[in-house]
């Protein structure tokens, strides 16, 4: 397979080392390198991304726009294959190759608030750079990806079809998801009220999707653009809350280690707002804190639905993996909700200092 894919780019496997790379749950990723040059090779999971051409098209449309409006902005687009496509299809599998950004690094955990600040700034900058671009020109790469009512609907369906064994194993998680249905109600009101604008949103803002300068740790650019599509800013801010606030991530089995760091919350706000303060409408800013609840809850719903469905979506390493991930997110959600008064206070102080 490697030779067929690299061959489409005029490259030869004999000249490269190839190693698995990263920790994504959906696509397969490798680093392809030698002393002179390095690439990232990725196979797109077409069970999840049913029309991978949409990804390639979106990235190309954005690239053209940014080349004209912000030529200095570092936008990591796939390399063009010998036949002119930005991807290669081998045995019905869909691959693309990215340049490996020199002197960059990525991290898997947020250890310090500065890291959250730099990441939030990069995700904010990405949406800001594209705020005058018509988001509707982009195709959804996954229909209804962050449509919470639909995710809840899928959970309900999974519950109807699940085995008694899985339902009883997941009893507490199911009760918790039902107890928090108000988060979905709030979403429906928010969307119906027209408070949020459709923007170009990344939709997967985990820390490993930002490249940092290797020596300084300063943010360089965002990567993993498969889920870049029209959406609401709460998806990006919310996923940062979900994945940066606690040092222990969704894989942690010891929930005592899940803890919300207020200084990281402040750093996300600072980094994102440095870029987006002038862009976001007043009505959108009202949902800054809600965004965390929205994303953490949706992720819990998705993990538990997948557990009830018999683990058909997320890669798992042990039988209860999705259940544990879901319970982890429920724990995080409850801790997040308990911190809301502190978050309000932090934002109030920032706004007071500004006037």
Residues forming contacts to ligand GN1 in the complex (CB under 6 A) are 24-26, 48, 142, 204, 227, 250, 299
| Residue 221 binds: one of ligand GN1, Mg ion, none (C-beta under 5 to 8 A by kind) | none
| Residue 138 binds: one of Mg ion, ligand GN1, none (C-beta under 5 to 8 A by kind) | none
Number of Cβ atoms within 10 Å of the Cβ of 348: 10
| Residue 22 binds: one of Mg ion, ligand GN1, none (C-beta under 5 to 8 A by kind) | none
The residue (of 204 and 331) whose beta carbon lies closer to ligand GN1 is: 204
184 lines the binding site for Mg ion (CB under 5 A): no
| Min dist. Cβ of residue 98 to ligand GN1 (A) | 15
| Min dist. Cβ of residue 201 to ligand GN1 (A) | 12
Taking CA atoms, 134 is separated from 87, 127, 211, 261, in Å, by: 25, 12, 26, 36
| Residue 86 binds: one of Mg ion, ligand GN1, none (C-beta under 5 to 8 A by kind) | none
The residue (of 121 and 203) whose beta carbon lies closer to ligand GN1 is: 203
Angstrom distance (rounded) from CA 3 to CA 228: 29
CA angle, 143 as apex, 141 and 146 as ends, to 5°? 100
Angstrom distance (rounded) from CA 206 to CA 110: 10
The residue (of 7 and 24) whose beta carbon lies closer to ligand GN1 is: 24
236 lines the binding site for Mg ion (CB under 5 A): no
CB 123 within 8 A of CB 35: no
The residue (of 8 and 204) whose beta carbon lies closer to ligand GN1 is: 204
| Residue 25 binds: one of ligand GN1, Mg ion, none (C-beta under 5 to 8 A by kind) | ligand GN1
| Min dist. Cβ of residue 29 to Mg ion (A) | 10
Residue reference for tokens 């496509």: 85
Angstrom distance (rounded) from CA 145 to CA 226: 12
Which residues have C-beta within 8 Å of that of residue 58, sequence separation ≥ 6? 138, 139, 141, 225, 228, 229
The residue (of 176 and 204) whose beta carbon lies closer to ligand GN1 is: 204
239 lines the binding site for Mg ion (CB under 5 A): no
250 lines the binding site for Mg ion (CB under 5 A): no
The residue (of 24 and 140) whose beta carbon lies closer to ligand GN1 is: 24
The residue (of 26 and 201) whose beta carbon lies closer to ligand GN1 is: 26
CB 195 within 8 A of CB 286: yes
| Residue 299 binds: one of Mg ion, ligand GN1, none (C-beta under 5 to 8 A by kind) | ligand GN1
Residue from 86, 176, 184, 204 binding Mg ion (CB under 5 A): 204
| Min dist. Cβ of residue 286 to ligand GN1 (A) | 24
The residue (of 48 and 167) whose beta carbon lies closer to ligand GN1 is: 48
Distance of CA 222 to the CA centre of its chain: 11
Site for Mg ion in 45-74 (CB under 5 A): none
224 lines the binding site for Mg ion (CB under 5 A): yes
| Min dist. Cβ of residue 224 to Mg ion (A) | 5
Residues in contact with Mg ion by the rule CB under 5 A: 204, 224
């Amino acid at each position: 397979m490697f030779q067929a894919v690299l061959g489409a780019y005029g490259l030869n496997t004999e000249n490269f080392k190839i190693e698995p790379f990263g920790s994504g749950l959906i696509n397969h990723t490798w680093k392809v390198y030698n002393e002179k040059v390095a690439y990232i090779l990725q196979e797109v999971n077409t069970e999840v991304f049913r029309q991978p051409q949409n990804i390639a098209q979106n990235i190309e449309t954005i690239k053209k726009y940014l080349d004209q409006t912000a030529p200095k902005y570092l936008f990591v687009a796939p390399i063009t294959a010998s036949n002119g496509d930005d991807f290669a299809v081998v045995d019905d599998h869909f691959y693309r190759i990215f340049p490996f950004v020199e002197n960059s690094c990525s991290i898997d955990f947020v250890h310090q608030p500065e890291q959250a600040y730099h990441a939030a700034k990069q995700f904010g900058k990405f949406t800001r750079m594209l705020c005058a671009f018509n988001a509707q020109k982009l195709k959804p790469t996954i229909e209804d990806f962050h449509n919470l009512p639909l995710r809840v609907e899928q959970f309900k369906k999974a519950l109807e079809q699940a085995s008694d064994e899985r339902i009883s194993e997941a009893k507490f998680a199911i009760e918790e998801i039902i107890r928090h249905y108000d988060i979905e109600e709030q979403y429906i009101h928010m969307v119906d009220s027209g408070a949020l604008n459709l923007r170009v949103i990344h939709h997967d803002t985990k820390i490993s999707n930002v490249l940092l300068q290797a020596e300084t740790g300063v943010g360089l650019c965002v990567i993993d653009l498969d889920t870049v599509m029209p959406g609401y800013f709460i998806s990006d801010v919310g996923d940062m809350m979900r994945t940066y606030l606690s040092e222990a991530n969704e894989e942690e089995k010891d929930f005592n280690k899940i803890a919300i760091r207020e200084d990281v919350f402040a750093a996300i706000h600072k980094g994102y707002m440095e870029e987006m303060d002038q862009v976001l409408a007043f009505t959108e800013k009202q949902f800054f804190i809600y965004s965390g609840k929205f994303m953490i809850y949706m992720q819990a719903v998705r993990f538990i639905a997948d557990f009830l469905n018999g683990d058909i979506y997320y890669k798992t390493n042990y039988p209860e993996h999705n259940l544990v991930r879901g319970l982890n997110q429920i724990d995080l959600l409850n801790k997040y909700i308990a911190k809301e008064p502190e978050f309000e206070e932090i934002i109030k102080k920032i706004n007071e200092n500004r006037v």
